[in-house]
A and B are shown apart, each in its own frame.
Chain A
Amino acid sequence: MDFLAPTSWAEALETKAAHPDALPVAGGTDVMVELNFDHRRPAALLDLTRVPELQEWSRDAGRIRLGAGVTYSRVITELGGALPGLAMAARTVGSPQIRNRGTVGGNLGAASPAGDSHPALLAAFAEVEIASVRGTRVVPVAEFFTGVKRSVLEADELIAAVRVTPPAGPQQFCKIGTRNAMVIAVSAFGFALHPDRRVVGTGIGSAAPTPRPAPEAAAFLAGELEAAGLWDSRGPLPEGLATDFGRRVRDAAAPIDDVRGSAAYRLHALSVMARRAATWAWDSYRDENRSAAA
């Protein structure tokens, strides 16, 4: 197996173009496990840890541009305020050691339905910046995943960054695991209120072949909030609305039974998480108003 170690972004793209079957590796928390278990035997590894451009995040025209090589630990410590949903998700990833190595870009590249970043990125309407020697394209996260561990990435492409608009409203992330740390999601849910656009963002993890949003549920909730004038009044959620929303989120999922949990439990848990997340986010939204008034 060849080990390719470019030291600049340009070189990385050229290397990927020249070795389209090279498997990119960042923190190695996923790739190395796959190699150790002999689940993958790539012709070459493309090590991206020496590419400085990937290790940085920046603000660009009001958006955060998160380099693909930024670790979960840094998301937690440096971006907890700007990307709260993603930071909440990052806190649930593995152990401290894994969070020190693992990256959001790597999570996207693996494209696991159980990736912890994905529901938060979906709810935030994030976009993936994809590059190759042919140029750069930007794909909404909701369109990035094409199947179990598959994405829109072409053989010569690398993930450059994730672009996220800092939230105009509260975000939440919840994840079910059968122990209190170091666990792969049985199911997960990301939620974001976008009061500037009067839109609700959602993301479902581990409950379908790909991470996916729950657009019908999101539109329903946003519409109900609109109809009741709640975006402006910031009044309490009508009774049953969060529960209705949770049910619709559940209906957007298509989970399987596996060793981590049953499909029925995953659906049930999603409805509970969605209800709770929406309630917490709405309560925060109302609190913002109160603290602003005070």
Chain B
Amino acid sequence: MTSTETRTAGRLGDSPLRPDGTLKVTGEFAYSSDLWHDDMVWGVTLRSPHPHARIRSIDVTEALRVPGVSAVLTAADVPGENAVGLEHLDTPALADGVVRYQGEPVALVAADHPETARRAAKRIVVDYEVLPAVTDPRRALDADAPLVHASREDNLVRAMKIRRGDPAPTAPVVVALDFEVGMQDQAFLGPESGLAVPDGEGGVDLFVATQWLHVDQGQVCRVLGLPPEQVRLTLAGVGGAFGGREDLSMHVHACLLALHTGKPVKMSYARDESFFGHVHRHPAWLRYEFGASEEGELIYAKADILFDGGAYASSTGAVVGNGGTLGLGPYRIPSVHVDARGVYTNNPPCGAMRGFGCVQAAFAHEALMDELADRVGVDRVEIRARNGMVEGDLNITGQVIDSAAPVAELIRTVRDLPLPPEPEGERDIRELPGGASNTTHGEGVVRGIGYAVTYKNVGFSEGFDDYSTARVRLEAVAGEPVATVHTAAAEVGQGLITIEQQICRTELGVDQVVVHPKDTSVGSGGSTSASRQTYVTGGAVKAACEAVRTSVLRRAAALLQRSDLRLDGDKIVAESGEVVAGLVEVLDEPVEETVEWRHRPTFPIDPETGQGNAHVQYAFSAHRAVVDVDTELGLVKVVALDTAQDVGRALNPDAVVGQIQGGSAQGMGLALMEEIVVQDGHVKNPSFTDYLIPTILDMPPMQVKVLEYADPHAPYGVRGVGEPPTISSGPAVAAAVRAATGKALRRVPIRPEHITF
């Protein structure tokens, strides 16, 4: 007997059902907006109507007079430092003397009913002196531009330079373009919400939907002026995140009200407020130039990328970092000249969103790659295959790509997937652009095919100390070994809970794995972003399991007086293969180990040349989009959106495909419809009536080809999965629409009138 044959489902490589799956489908999942406490009051936020104004005075007298109101707070009531922010502490928890964007929080109200609180908030009298606003980011660095932050010299958040190879390159073939990307929203379905419960001893427990409990905790502590022991966070049910929950929303506000009133405070944004309650994807203006040989081999590339960071920095610096270091795509380019900048304006703050700086760039480099292909007469797939990175290549920061870089295989794979049948005869209008809206019976409809490929960094970069903590406990419960895994890594819908269980089952041979609620009583799990949790928290859980296993075997060795033991399933086995004990026999006392785990270090890039090993891992994907466009009306139906992606190793194949499908839909949404329209600093469409996201009738069934080239440097060989699909799908759709219409279409989302005029 050399191995246990009682392997149950739910180990690595299986696709166990998610514990939240059925609950979400049936509407029974408890989201953060469902939190309840019998004694709670409701908090609401009064927000600035102006993009830029000085606050002369705030009079809360009338609001306090409303029956049922228990508190009205302003910046004057902040006990600690009134400053939060992911990279820069530039964001007041409540506006202090000035507002810098429409929707900035100015005051808080707590009352016994949310409607009472809202009515009271309307009675707060804020005397604003409207100031000139910077709303065109292309003018933000002009000498005469108003300063968004008076304490700064200019409106620059970060500028990045990348210089490589020939400083004055020439090439026989030169193509160039300007591209513009609109402001996308994460549009998560569960609005910002949480419950703050005062502990009666000056501290507070906050239950909240977020992406990174510990970074929230640090910011909340600063504003409250409390140590971490007195500010405890627990993850509540998260209804999607996509980067929009990296920054604080109602966290500090609910805690301020709870500590002030001594009562539990619930805050839950409505949909319109949610559009003002979180950062968005940066709009971008991109100018690109490729120089190539007559055969289409890239000789040089130049890029100038401008990101509108809005009123506060959030993660603009890191987005600039990604746009700069990754913004030329997964191509081998000898000479490179990139400038990427992020600026402050009085527009809505922008920060993290799935794809993080690469999404905007990919629209530009992929459109230009098509243009180059056409110019030199090379097939659009082949030009990508020819210029695509392979393992061992240097990227534009001079970093060696030291695991699989299957660009050519990915793009050829999507090309070779079966195409949808060519339309013939009379078609059901639901298959046509416009669908049941009956705008065409085939008139004006032209089919187009587009391709795109991308690569994205996984994990945090540029020297960031990116780690995760896992605590694993193994004990006997009713004669069975049970593992409990405890991390603070946020489950936001991606499936981390299942992955943590799968790792424990695989490493410890147990069937039962309890996932402890995610909270700050264990060390940081790092952010649920940058496609990093399966890699980093997965790595931490694996390491903690290994430590537990070592402890168990040490204990068994002492107990059994032999040293040739290993764990095989839930048996302790000798070198000979003989089972010498059951696992539970050595678990009189639980075994618990806590491990802080880090991936290989990354390094800051050189400020002058942009050279350096900025990233730890790269993930590659390709898409092929097939669209039917009603060229007369400008309406688009995506007929097929197929993809190939290298995931290193699929620990949970169903979850991998789910991430790829969802990410592809989100990328397609940006190409065709998703945009927060901002005019003069004012958001024009803060609702799902007018901020459109794809429905099931907009998203075709997908063919998903998953490649598994294990990364030898990553735990189990995994490669981050969540973001690449969001990056390559949109440019493929845009390319397909260009192919169908013959129009240049240098802006996304592509609106019908861009096609018809």
Contacts and interface: CB of A to CB of B under 8 A. Distances in A.
B592 to A, nearest CB: 48
A91 B436 contact: yes
B185 to A, nearest CB: 14
Contacts of A182: 695
B440 interface: yes
B692 A181 contact: no
B144 interface: no
A3 interface: no
A264 B694 CA distance: 25
Contacts of A179: 672-673, 692, 694-695, 697-698
Contact of B637 (A88, A95, A180, A268): A180
A259 B443 contact: no
Interface string B412-446: 00000000000000000000011111111101100
A261 B752 contact: yes
A262 B444 CA distance: 21
A65 to B, nearest CB: 26
B439 A174 contact: yes
Interface string A172-215: 11111111111110100000000000000000000000000000
B753 A259 contact: no
Contact of A268 (B677, B695, B698, B756): B756
Nearest to A273: B439
B677 A259 contact: yes
Contacts of A162: none
Contacts of B738: none
B686 to A, nearest CB: 10
Q: How large is the interface on B (under 10, 10 to 19, 20 to 34, 35 or more residues)?
A: 35 or more
Contacts of A261: 751-753
B438 A172 contact: yes
Interface in A60-102: 88, 91-92, 95
A272 interface: yes
A181 B695 CA distance: 7
B756 A176 contact: no
Q: Is the interface of B mostly helix, strand, loop or mixed?
A: loop
A137 interface: no
B400 interface: no
B757 A175 contact: no
Nearest to A95: B695
A276 B443 contact: yes
Contact of A178 (B632, B684, B697, B752): B752
Contacts of A95: 695
Given A37-B272, A172-B438, A276-B439, A181 B753 contact: no
A176 B677 contact: no
Contact of B632 (A175, A259, A272): A272
B633 interface: yes
A178 B633 contact: no
A264 B751 CA distance: 13
Q: How large is the interface on A (under 10, 10 to 19, 20 to 34, 35 or more residues)?
A: 20 to 34
Interface string A12-41: 000000000000000000000000111000
B165 to A, nearest CB: 43
Contacts of A59: none
B439 A36 contact: no
A259 B690 contact: yes
A259 B183 CA distance: 14
A180 B756 contact: no
Interface string A278-292: 001000000000000
A272 B677 contact: no
Interface string A157-180: 000000000000000111111111
Nearest to B272: A37
A280 B440 CA distance: 10
B684 A259 contact: yes
A176 B753 CA distance: 12
A19 B657 CA distance: 57
A183 B444 CA distance: 22
A180 B695 contact: yes
B633 A269 contact: yes
Nearest to B437: A175
Nearest to B637: A180
A205 to B, nearest CB: 11
A260 B757 CA distance: 16
Interface string B621-648: 0000000000011110100000000000
B510 to A, nearest CB: 44
B341 interface: no
Contacts of A172: 438
B436 A181 contact: yes
Interface in B522-552: none
A261 B272 CA distance: 20
A173 B118 contact: no
B270 interface: yes
Between A181, A262, A268, the greatest number of chain B beta carbons within 10 A of the residue's beta carbon is seen for A181
Contact of B756 (A36, A265, A276): A265
B184 to A, nearest CB: 15
B753 A177 contact: no
A172 to B, nearest CB: 7
A88 B689 contact: no
A182 B270 CA distance: 20
A167 to B, nearest CB: 16
B685 interface: yes
Contacts of B684: 259
A268 B757 contact: yes
B436 A262 contact: no
A260 B633 CA distance: 14
B296 to A, nearest CB: 35
A181 B697 contact: yes
A176 B436 contact: no
A182 B752 CA distance: 17
Nearest to B436: A91
A36 B435 CA distance: 30
A276 B637 contact: no
Contacts of B118: 38
Between B433, B694, B753, the greatest number of chain A beta carbons within 10 A of the residue's beta carbon is seen for B753
Contacts of B634: 265
Nearest to A36: B270
A272 B438 contact: no
A43 B680 CA distance: 36
Interface in A90-135: 91-92, 95
A54 B393 CA distance: 72
A90 to B, nearest CB: 10
Interface string A237-278: 000000000000000000000011110110011001100100
Nearest to B694: A179
A265 B752 contact: yes
Given A180-B637, A184-B689, A268-B756, A174 B438 contact: yes
B756 A174 contact: no
Interface string B714-752: 000000000000000000000000000000000000011
Given A182-B695, A268-B756, A176 B633 contact: yes
Contact of B440 (A37, A183, A268, A276): A276
Nearest to B119: A38
Nearest to A93: B436
Nearest to B433: A180
A88 B673 contact: no
Interface of A: 36-38, 88, 91-92, 95, 172-184, 186, 259-262, 264-265, 268-269, 272-273, 276, 280
Interface of B: 118, 270, 272, 433-441, 443-444, 632-635, 637, 672-673, 677, 684-685, 687, 689-690, 692, 694-698, 751-753, 756-757
6 contacts: A174-B434, A178-B672, A180-B437, A180-B635, A181-B697, A265-B753
Given A176-B752, A179-B695, 19 more contacts: A37-B687, A91-B436, A174-B438, A176-B434, A176-B439, A178-B673, A178-B692, A180-B437, A180-B635, A181-B436, A184-B689, A259-B684, A260-B690, A265-B756, A268-B757, A269-B633, A272-B632, A276-B441, A276-B443
Which 7 residue pairs of A and B lie closest in terms of their CB atoms, listed nearest first?
Answer: A265-B753, A180-B435, A181-B697, A175-B437, A259-B684, A180-B697, A91-B436
